[in-house]
Amino acid sequence: MIALLVVACEVAFWVLLAAGLALRYVARNPRLGAAVLLCEPLLEVVLLVVTAVDLKNGAEPDWKHGLAAVYIGFTVGLGHHTIKKVDAWVAHRWFGGPPPVKPPKYGTARAIHEWRTAARWILAAVVALALLQAAVWYVGPDGAISTLRSWQQKMGLVIGINLLIAGGYTVWPKQAPKEEVPDREPADRF
């Protein structure tokens, strides 16, 4: 049941996003569109409550409970950014808005961009880690918590990978290609 609820929350996220953007742009009612988008966190609250109740009722913690915690964490860390990106794309694609801002390609600006991206992913992983740890404490030491610990290790890996990527762009910044400068002036043909 938990896995189906995670899928339902993901589908509902995109339905609410589409409805909010339709109200904002098609119906020209940005306030109502924003109100619909603000309903999105309720999905995570429902998922959290259902997962806690399932564990309270004696369910063995398994991969589905871990997935629920990870889904909530990633929605917290990446949901707002996703909504902003899709909003900018829809505004540009169908409603004459400016093109979405592309990330910088080179140098310090690219490194800063990578650190911001890493911060979102790390926030997502940290929230998931906290929820997973709360589930471990909730179940207690006598419960089967190995799958929850396994999800925690995966979140540690997510943090490590993002630190490596952002750190790599900091230590070895990507340089803009140098324009080809001719060695000599081209000779006149005539």
Buried b (16+ CB within 10 A) or exposed e, 130-150: ebbeebbebbeeebebebbee
When the pLDDT of each residue in the chain is averaged and rounded to a whole number, the result is: 92
Lowest mean pLDDT among 4-8, 83-87, 124-128, 185-189: 185-189
How sure is the predictor about 184, in pLDDT bands with cuts at 50, 70 and 90? low
pLDDT above 70 for 185:
no
Q: What is the pLDDT of residue 189?
A: 53
pLDDT above 90 for 107:
yes
Say if CB 37 and CB 20 are below 8 A apart. yes
Say if CB 78 and CB 12 are below 8 A apart. no
How sure is the predictor about 58, in pLDDT bands with cuts at 50, 70 and 90? confident
How sure is the predictor about 176, in pLDDT bands with cuts at 50, 70 and 90? confident
DSSP helix/strand/coil, 29: coil
Give the helix ranges, DSSP H, for the chain. Answer: 2-21, 30-38, 40-56, 63-95, 107-139, 146-171
pLDDT tens digits, one per residue of 24-45: 999 999 999 999 999 999 999 9
pLDDT above 80 for 118:
yes
DSSP 83-126: HHHHHHHHHHHHH-PPPPPPPP-SHHHHHHHHHHHHHHHHHHHH
CA–CA separation, 165 vs 133, rounded Å? Answer: 26
Q: What is the pLDDT of residue 186?
A: 53
Q: What is the pLDDT of residue 1?
A: 85
pLDDT above 90 for 157:
yes
Say if CB 37 and CB 16 are below 8 A apart. yes
Q: What average pLDDT does range 7-11 have in this prediction? A: 96
pLDDT above 50 for 181:
no
Upper half-sphere CA count for residue 108 (Cβ side, 13 Å): 0
CA–CA separation, 93 vs 172, rounded Å? Answer: 35
**Residue whose token pair is 């006149």:** 188
pTM for this entry: 0.88
More confident residue, 93 or 186: 93
CA–CA separation, 30 vs 7, rounded Å? Answer: 28
